[in-house]
């Protein structure tokens, strides 16, 4: 969309809004890890933050890949709009492959919007922020923290990693060297470190390196918070995610395939890194001051229990460890104390930060302002798009060159983490593979946004080998199901199942097809295959439960949804299905309890609010039922059964005029 000469929107601050915002990103932080540590008194800063502020789950988007997610967080837009589709991308001049960077992003991030509005930002370590953008304020890119040490001296700061460049020497002195992480710092993570020193191999050197990187980001941030004027400070800490990939398999309870010696050596590492982040947060909160709104959030969670991937089951890639719920916690001016967050996603972060800074979100941002936790809950009217605002916003031209040596160092790190394959010596092949990988990621993102046709269009443009691969065909089948193109879905699934006749996912999809065609018994035949396989996939058991609901086998539905919850205790679909089944079985209190949990996990869930309303009616709380059912029909205006239930609740309250209106809407005779 071409820019037009519109004066940048002036911030409109009120007494209810903060003076500034501190946005702290903890990659892969998870309430499942944090809550037990809070209960043990081991994360006092986080406990104090949620004690006086607001908190809840933050749903991620798919695919769960950090470059895509952190750019979504910073822009309020999905990858199709912001342009970052993977860890790497072809270089602009066709000379090879480079890490995704700030020049990959094709729309404005928070700090670009703030630059146009006369506000200053400090941005430290944000994923894919190199080269540092010339914003109003200070930017330290995600390559600043990566350096080598020779004879006790760190390598020079990578060019273009700091804006303004005049701060390079000052901030270079803030780098923490691995050798400075001494035994005092290591022992909380590895209490028996001394015993490991004489054994090879051990992970102590890697632990020192990761702690040094995290401490470097923190040291730079605290310097900037105290030495600069700022309206937004946004920091990205990668430490929890890096520690997870290195040590989560050693976190209690012990995984069967982990050797006892390894488990005992590193079992405290994950607790240690969370406590380390909590201690750093204490410093940030103190430096931020009382006039600052503090937000701590993560892009996704990290499996830490029986759902941890088992390489013996063919799942051990880094993305397999990522749980779809991250964290959100906030306190300070503008935040309601004691508020709970319901149904939030990473798309909501940018609109919410803009609101706190007195600025409007835009219509091309699909997320919402998290009004339920705001003391001033009425956001400003949205503008069409911040992309239409002309003028300098501190973005780079897209063809800006990045040093190939720096590229190589970052690529080596991504390869070591397992996020991408080593570049092929065949440059053209590396470029083709990168394009195919990124386009597949884009297709997954479009499907996640329910743009199934867009996803199919992207998949259809892949090279033949990539288009015919199992993952691409499986995604295609999912999209055809979403479009209700059953013929294409069936032919695609049947081709796949011919090669993998025992694959539970495929039988689940065929069961879904048969169910949609009204063949409940045939659907159950396929879903019985799924159940017999006992996969650790809650979605399969949820689908089985839905078929049991439709065929009025309510006891079996309860069993299926409980099985899903035994696999994933945070499955909103399972809680919703359990509530529906219990209502049919004459247990309205149980139905209410389970449905309220589902609504807490996902707020926009009309079927859940319908069950809540019906359960409250059965329990005699007609006023509560009206509230739940009004929300249901607001989310789904054409939900006839909900209008009918609402009419009954109004009649029970003696509000006959409202009952008649709801009845007419149930019959479709009133819009």
Cβ atoms 309, 316 nearer than 8 A: yes
Structure tokens at 439: 């386009």
In this structure, of 521-530, 548-557, 589-598, the range with the lowest mean pLDDT score is: 521-530
pLDDT at 347 over 80: yes
Asked whether this chain's domains 20-409 and 423-496 adopt the same fold, the reply is: no
Q: In this predicted structure, what is the pLDDT of residue 226?
A: 98
CA-based radius of gyration for the chain: 26
Beta bridge partners of 163: 139
pLDDT at 1 over 50: no
Helix ranges (H only) for 342-403 are 349-356
- Give the residue with greater pLDDT, 580 vs 602: 580
Q: In this predicted structure, what is the pLDDT of residue 377?
A: 67
State the Cα–Cα distance between residues 124 and 615, nearest whole angstrom. Answer: 49
Residue 295 DSSP one-character state: E
Cβ atoms 90, 365 nearer than 8 A: no
Which pLDDT band, with edges at 50, 70 and 90, does 6 fall under?
very low
pLDDT at 574 over 50: yes
Mean pLDDT of the chain: 91
Q: In this predicted structure, what is the pLDDT of residue 587?
A: 98
Q: In this predicted structure, what is the pLDDT of residue 405?
A: 45
Q: Cβ-count burial of 58 within 10 angstroms (0-12 exposed, 13-18 middle, 19+ buried)?
A: buried
Cβ atoms 17, 333 nearer than 8 A: yes
Backbone angles phi, psi at 108, to 5 degrees: -75, 140
pLDDT at 4 over 70: no
Average pLDDT over residues 44-65: 96
- Give the three-state DSSP class for 356: helix
> How far, in Å, are 94, 319, 322, 363 from residue 301 at the CA level?
36, 11, 6, 28
Q: In this predicted structure, what is the pLDDT of residue 534?
A: 65
State the Cα–Cα distance between residues 567 and 569, nearest whole angstrom. Answer: 6
Q: Which helix (H) or strand (E) holds 137?
A: strand 137-140
* Residues in Cβ contact with 399 at an 8 Å cutoff, skipping those fewer than 6 apart: 92, 103
pLDDT at 667 over 60: yes
Query: What is the residue whose two structure tokens read 């949609």?
Result: 516
Q: At what angle do helices 470-482 and 452-460 cross, to 10 degrees?
A: 150
* Residues in Cβ contact with 561 at an 8 Å cutoff, skipping those fewer than 6 apart: 541, 542, 545, 574, 575, 577, 578, 581
Average pLDDT over residues 540-548: 84
Query: What is the residue whose two structure tokens read 């397992």?
Result: 418
Q: Which CATH number fits domain 20-409: 3.50.50.60, 3.40.720.10, 3.40.47.10, 1.10.150.120?
A: 3.40.720.10
Average pLDDT over residues 221-249: 97
pLDDT digits (tens, 9 = 90+) for 155-199: 999 999 999 999 999 999 999 999 999 999 999 999 999 989 888
Q: Cβ-count burial of 322 within 10 angstroms (0-12 exposed, 13-18 middle, 19+ buried)?
A: buried
Fold of 423-496: 1.25.40
Q: Cβ-count burial of 299 within 10 angstroms (0-12 exposed, 13-18 middle, 19+ buried)?
A: buried
Mean pLDDT is highest, among 22-26, 398-402, 468-472, for 22-26
* Residues in Cβ contact with 586 at an 8 Å cutoff, skipping those fewer than 6 apart: none
Q: In this predicted structure, what is the pLDDT of residue 535?
A: 63
Q: In this predicted structure, what is the pLDDT of residue 604?
A: 74
Cβ atoms 98, 423 nearer than 8 A: no
Backbone angles phi, psi at 150, to 5 degrees: -125, 125
State the Cα–Cα distance between residues 363 and 584, nearest whole angstrom. Answer: 41
State the Cα–Cα distance between residues 138 and 162, nearest whole angstrom. Answer: 7
Query: What is the residue whose two structure tokens read 């986080």?
Result: 46
State the Cα–Cα distance between residues 276 and 215, nearest whole angstrom. Answer: 10
Structure tokens at 69: 């997610």
State the Cα–Cα distance between residues 432 and 427, nearest whole angstrom. Answer: 9
pLDDT at 311 over 60: yes
Q: At what angle do helices 486-499 and 504-516 cross, to 10 degrees?
A: 150
Structure tokens at 537: 């996939």
Q: In this predicted structure, what is the pLDDT of residue 13?
A: 81
Helix ranges (H only) for 190-306 are 193-196, 204-227, 239-247, 260-266, 269-288
In this structure, of 144-148, 149-153, 156-160, 511-515, the range with the lowest mean pLDDT score is: 511-515
Average pLDDT over residues 559-574: 90
Domain residue limits, the chain: 20-409, 423-496
Average pLDDT over residues 448-477: 94
- Give the three-state DSSP class for 302: strand
Q: At what angle do helices 239-247 and 204-227 cross, to 10 degrees?
A: 170
In this structure, of 2-16, 255-269, 400-414, 647-661, the range with the lowest mean pLDDT score is: 400-414
pLDDT at 526 over 70: yes
How many Cα atoms occupy the beta-carbon half-sphere of 512 within 13 Å?
23
Cβ atoms 349, 361 nearer than 8 A: no
| Prediction pTM value | 0.86
Query: What is the residue whose two structure tokens read 């199934």?
Result: 452
Buried b (16+ CB within 10 A) or exposed e, 407-416: bebbbeebee
Average pLDDT over residues 266-284: 98
Q: In this predicted structure, what is the pLDDT of residue 402?
A: 55
In this structure, of 19-28, 47-56, 430-439, the range with the lowest mean pLDDT score is: 430-439
């Amino acid at each position: 969309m071409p820019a037009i000469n519109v004066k940048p929107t002036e911030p409109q601050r009120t007494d209810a809004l903060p003076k500034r915002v501190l946005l702290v990103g903890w990659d892969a932080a998870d309430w499942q890890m944090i809550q037990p540590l809070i209960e043990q008194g081991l994360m006092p800063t986080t406990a104090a933050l949620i004690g006086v502020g607001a908190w809840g789950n933050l749903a991620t988007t798919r695919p769960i890949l950090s470059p895509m997610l952190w750019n979504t967080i910073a822009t309020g837009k999905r990858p199709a709009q912001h342009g970052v589709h993977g860890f790497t991308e072809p270089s602009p001049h066709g000379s090879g492959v480079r890490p995704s960077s700030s020049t990959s992003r094709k729309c404005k991030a928070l700090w670009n919007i703030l630059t146009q509005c006369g506000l200053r930002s400090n941005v430290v370590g944000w994923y894919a922020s190199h080269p540092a953008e010339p914003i109003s304020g200070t930017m330290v890119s995600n390559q600043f923290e990566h350096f080598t040490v020779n004879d006790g001296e760190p390598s020079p700061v990578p060019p273009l990693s700091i804006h303004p460049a005049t701060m390079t020497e000052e901030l270079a002195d803030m780098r923490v060297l691995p050798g400075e992480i001494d035994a005092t710092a290591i022992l909380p993570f590895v209490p028996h470190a001394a015993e490991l020193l004489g054994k090879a191999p051990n992970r102590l050197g890697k632990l020192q390196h990761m702690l040094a990187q995290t401490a470097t980001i923190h040291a730079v941030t605290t310097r900037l918070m105290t030495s600069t004027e700022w309206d937004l400070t946004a920091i990205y800490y990668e430490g929890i995610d890096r520690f997870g990939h290195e040590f989560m398999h050693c976190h209690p309870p012990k995984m069967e395939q982990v050797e006892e010696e390894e488990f005992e050596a590193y079992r405290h590492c994950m607790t240690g890194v969370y406590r380390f982040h909590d201690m750093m947060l204490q410093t940030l909160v103190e430096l931020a001051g009382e006039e600052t709104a503090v937000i701590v959030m993560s892009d996704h969670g990290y499996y830490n229990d029986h759902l941890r991937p088992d390489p013996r089951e063919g799942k051990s890639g880094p993305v397999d460890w990522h749980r779809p719920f991250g964290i959100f916690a906030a306190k300070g001016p503008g935040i309601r104390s004691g508020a709970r967050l319901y149904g939030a996603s990473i798309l909501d972060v940018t609109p919410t930060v803009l609101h706190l800074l007195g600025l409007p979100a835009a219509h091309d941002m699909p997320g919402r302002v998290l009004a339920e936790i705001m003391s001033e809950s009425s956001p400003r009217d949205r503008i069409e798009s911040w992309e239409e605002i002309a003028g300098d916003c501190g973005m780079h031209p897209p063809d800006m060159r990045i040093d190939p040596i720096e590229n190589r160092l970052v690529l080596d790190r991504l390869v070591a983490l397992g996020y991408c394959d080593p570049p092929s010596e065949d440059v053209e092949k590396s470029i083709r593979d990168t394009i195919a990988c990124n386009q597949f990621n884009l297709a997954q993102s479009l499907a996640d946004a329910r743009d199934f046709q867009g996803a199919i269009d992207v998949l259809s443009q892949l090279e033949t080998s990539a288009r015919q691969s199992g993952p691409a065909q499986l995604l295609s089948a999912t999209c055809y199901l979403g479009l209700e193109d059953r013929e294409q879905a069936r032919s695609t699934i049947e081709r796949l199942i011919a090669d993998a006749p025992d694959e539970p996912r495929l039988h689940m999809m065929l069961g879904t097809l048969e169910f949609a065609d009204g063949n409940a018994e045939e659907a159950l035949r396929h879903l019985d295959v799924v159940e017999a396989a006992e996969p650790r996939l809650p979605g399969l058991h949820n689908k089985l439960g839905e078929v049991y609901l439709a065929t009025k086998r309510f006891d079996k539905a309860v069993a299926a949804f409980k099985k899903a919850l035994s696999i994933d205790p945070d499955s909103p679909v399972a809680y919703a299905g359990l509530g529906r089944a219990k209502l049919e079985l004459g247990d309205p209190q149980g139905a209410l309890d389970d449905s309220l949990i589902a609504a807490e996990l996902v707020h926009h869930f009309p079927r859940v609010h319908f069950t809540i309303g019906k359960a409250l009616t059965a329990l005699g709380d007609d006023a509560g039922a009206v509230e739940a059912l009004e929300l249901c029909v607001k989310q789904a205006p054409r939900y006839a059964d909900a209008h009918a239930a609402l009419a009954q609740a109004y009649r029970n309250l003696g509000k006959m005029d409202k009952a008649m209106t709801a009845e007419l809407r149930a019959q479709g005779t009133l819009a």
